[in-house]
Structure 1
Amino acid sequence: MAFEGKVVWVTGASSGIGEALSRQLLGRGAYVILSGRQTDALERVAANAPQRALVLPFEATNWDALPDAVDKAWNWRGAVDILVNNAGISQRSLAIDTQLPVYRELMEVDYLAPVALTQLVLPRMIERSLGHIAAVSSVAGKVGVPLRTGYCGAKHAVVGYFSALRAEIESAYGIPVTVIVPGSVKTRIAINAVEGNGERRGRSDPNIERGIDVNIAAGNILEGIAERKKEVVVADGIEGVALQIMRDHPEKLYEMTSQEGARLANMRNNAGPGTALDPDHSRLVQP
């Protein structure tokens, strides 16, 4: 088995894709370091194979705490073979209604946090000339869509950093870098998304509810990591089509996103600023 006996560190392991990845990794014989903010949830995941799980809760943007977390993770089994940067939050607000602190939070959680953790783990992997780094971006890290200006910015940055990192370390040190590009996966990501005022949205999206089963998504992601793929796309329907159109006919994709932006602007103007938009508003790209 590709993961049997490997030490895998998963952030955002208490729910969603991170939880599903962790459960499957434990089922495949891996030693899994479970990180996130919800200790009780992490312990429930660890209960699947407690002898091969380390619960290591921390706040991803607590920069001062990261070096100690890395020490604990590395010292548990003497190394980290695979780092999966998964923790993140999404957004549901038009730019005109979004306050600057929301952009800061999205960039810190979705971009700077995985960069900071990777920067601390990277020298240790390079010293061994052994390891594998993965990061969860999004279809929104490839396509700019309405209601996601901050999220798209952060996830585009994730693609940029980890793609550049791959160029620096894969051939030089034999350390592959995998960028994961999910579309709609049935999780709580929309419920936990931030709105323009910084509050959590508190409700899901129909697209998310109709999304790919999280366990199927996790299985596809692990298959891609096992095959050392540079990019793992987990998207179907309109999102898969959007990626293809972006490659082949970018102007056509712009027309599609622009039409959606105009529809949302009309909704906002008719309802008044600050009014919650139709829960089925995002017809193009999730999460």
Structure 2
Amino acid sequence: MTNQHEKTAWVTGASSGIGEALVKAFVADGGSAILSGRNLPELERVASESGAPDRCHILPFDTLDFDKLPKMVEAAVAFRGAIDVLVNNAGISQRSLAIDTDFSVYDRIIAVDLLAPIALTQAVLRHMLERGSGQLVMISSVAGKAGVPLRTAYCAAKHGLVGYSDALRSEIAGQGVGVLVVAPGSVRTNVSRNALNADGSVRGSSDAAIDNGIDPAVVANMIWTAVAEKKREIVIAEGMEANIPILRAQYPDRLFDMVEAMVASGYAQKLAVPSSQ
């Protein structure tokens, strides 16, 4: 980590998981944080536990309320006069087979995981470009680098976020604003518990891979280090998950065979996802 004194980071999805850890790490290193999300009591808890609640500004809103974004950006800028880093972290996952999944689930996940971060980035972008400095951080996923079963909507959204980020980075290169894509693997958060089932209901239970995943605090420190080093993309994963992006790029057929075998061996059943086939 580096000294974040006099810097301000705006983090969406700040009420838990990676977002919470990002806020606490940034504030611990002297920075100020804007905490956004829909759960006001949890945002207040994170601020109170940060060690410096006076350097935390709670700005609750639904990232899908696009009409409010200009006012949210104004409020965020007004807190400390500038937004140095925007972290698009808010998101939602999925645990269902495509054949069973209602289209409303695709609509919801792509809106939350792709359109919402694009909309907020677009609203903040001019502010950063006019200042000639800033960092945009997109929390994608290993599932944004390769298709993962039971997550067709999630993969579509996270792949799209990578594509948008890569294109945007090329357009604004040399203007002082960086774009970092983060592709985490399994991290100990509520991502699986909050994932959507085929009918759009909330799953309500976690996965062993998530429960045994990387500590969010470790992930947060790696992200802030990558921001300081002005990296363009990082993968934060362990074991086989760390190899997925490499296999997808260099040996795609090997990866496809491996994932197909995983599904054939009962992956969906192990996650208690019923099949209509």
TM range, smaller chain: over 0.9
Structure 1 position 217, deviation (Å): 1.2
1:278 aligns with 2:273: no
CA distance in 1, matches of 2:256, 2:211: 26
Structure 1 position 244, deviation (Å): 2.1
The residue that corresponds to 1:29 in the other structure is: 30
**Aligned pair count?**
270
Checking the alignment, whether the CA contact within 8 Å between 1:207 and 1:280 is kept in structure 2 is no
The residue that corresponds to 2:176 in the other structure is: 174
Checking the alignment, whether the CA contact within 8 Å between 2:22 and 2:220 is kept in structure 1 is yes
The residue that corresponds to 2:240 in the other structure is: 238
Cα gap change, 1:94 to 1:175, in 2 (>3 Å): same
Is there any run of 5+ residues in structure 1 with no aligned partner, and where? Answer: 268-276, 282-287
Deviates more, 1:89-98 or 1:236-245: 236-245
Secondary structure, counterpart of 2:9 in structure 1: strand
The residue that corresponds to 1:189 in the other structure is: 191
Structure 1-normalised TM-score? 0.91
CA distance in 1, matches of 2:53, 2:31: 11
Secondary structure, counterpart of 2:136 in structure 1: strand
Equivalent residue runs for 1:158-173 within 5 Å: 158-171=161-174, 173=175
Checking the alignment, whether the CA contact within 8 Å between 1:204 and 1:279 is kept in structure 2 is no
CA distance in 2, matches of 1:82, 1:280: 39
Checking the alignment, whether the CA contact within 8 Å between 1:170 and 1:177 is kept in structure 2 is no
Equivalent residue runs for 1:18-97 within 5 Å: 18-47=19-48, 48=50, 49-97=52-100
The residue that corresponds to 2:109 in the other structure is: 106
The residue that corresponds to 1:208 in the other structure is: 210
Structure 1 position 255, deviation (Å): 0.6
Checking the alignment, whether the CA contact within 8 Å between 1:10 and 1:84 is kept in structure 2 is yes
Structure 1 position 64, deviation (Å): 1.5
Any runs of at least 4 consecutive aligned residues in structure 1 with deviations exceeding 6 A, and if so which? none
CA distance in 1, matches of 2:189, 2:150: 19
The residue that corresponds to 2:126 in the other structure is: 123
Aligned residue type for 1:189: V
The residue that corresponds to 2:201 in the other structure is: 199
Checking the alignment, whether the CA contact within 8 Å between 1:134 and 1:177 is kept in structure 2 is yes
The residue that corresponds to 1:252 in the other structure is: 254
Checking the alignment, whether the CA contact within 8 Å between 2:3 and 2:30 is kept in structure 1 is no
Structure 2-normalised TM-score? 0.94
Give a deviation string over 1:202-246, Cα, whole Å, max 9, x none: 000000011111111111111111111001211011101222222
Structure 1 position 164, deviation (Å): 0.6
Structure 1 position 2, deviation (Å): 3.8
Aligned residue type for 2:137: A
CA distance in 1, matches of 2:28, 2:240: 32
Checking the alignment, whether the CA contact within 8 Å between 1:205 and 1:280 is kept in structure 2 is no
Secondary structure, counterpart of 1:84 in structure 2: strand
